[in-house]
Structure 1
Amino acid sequence: MSRYSKYEHDKIEYLKYRIKELSFLHKEQNILSEELFKIDQDLKKIPSPSLNKRYKSKYEYKNNYALWNKLISERDDIINKINNVESVIEDINMILDALTPISKDLAIDLLVKKKGVKWVEEEYHTRNAYQTLNDELKYFDIDSFLSHIS
């Protein structure tokens, strides 16, 4: 006989998968922040088209205006991506907050920081780190979590 029902097993694996995503999402957030910083630096180099600046020709004005608009649209896209990543990180933190403090630290060390199982078992004084985490995730109310995401 299995320790968990099929539904509980699927729920536990889904939650562990989501927690594992956290390290990737933090890297993605850092990359997007760097891109945003570069675009902001480029925007500082180009005069705003709304300023009453004298241009040598109308082509110079059109080129600056087109480049300005392109950078602004790229900046908006990156900001939207950052907001999406932050909302997913917030959802994953909601899963982690539902765990006990020790289980939360265990999950972060085991799934996010990818520390060894032996080290985690010694650090948290448990015989089976994955079993401890599974027992804790078993009681997480996934229905309220999924309704929060949608």
Structure 2
Amino acid sequence: MKISTRGRYGLRAMIDLCMHAQGEYISLRSIAKRQYLSSGYLEGIFAALKKAGLVHGSAGSCGGYLPALPADQITIRMILEPLESSMSLLDGPENGASSLRSFLNREVWSKVDRAVACLLDATTVADLMREFENRDHAVDSSSL
């Protein structure tokens, strides 16, 4: 499994949005600047996130995006699924597949898929925000 740049940037942008929104619309330009990303690329990502019901958008000079749900209700999987074409390791369709290929799909790749799905479902944006903030505090206190 490989998460594409679209998925990686989408996760960073969604965490950034949740960290900075505080009830106010956040522009893609400000997210792009903080995360060193292209605002044009983020437009496509946020269109997919909006379609998935994860963000609300507002046009105009004071427009931007707001999370549609609290950060503790947005999982990593909810963000990645609308941005990735597939997150499965299964080795293609089973039609006419060799017995070894079918065996590996069933006994290895499907188990890895389920384990990854469980992790992505169990981890919220709020969890990541907390861990990120705690990481910053640990670094700050160690430099004293």
TM-score class, shorter-chain normalisation, is under 0.3
**What TM-score, normalized by structure 2, do the two folds share?**
0.28
Structure of greater Rg = 1
Between structures 1 and 2, the one with greater helix share: 1
Q: Structure with the greater relative contact order (CA < 8 A, sep ≥ 6): 1 or 2?
A: 1
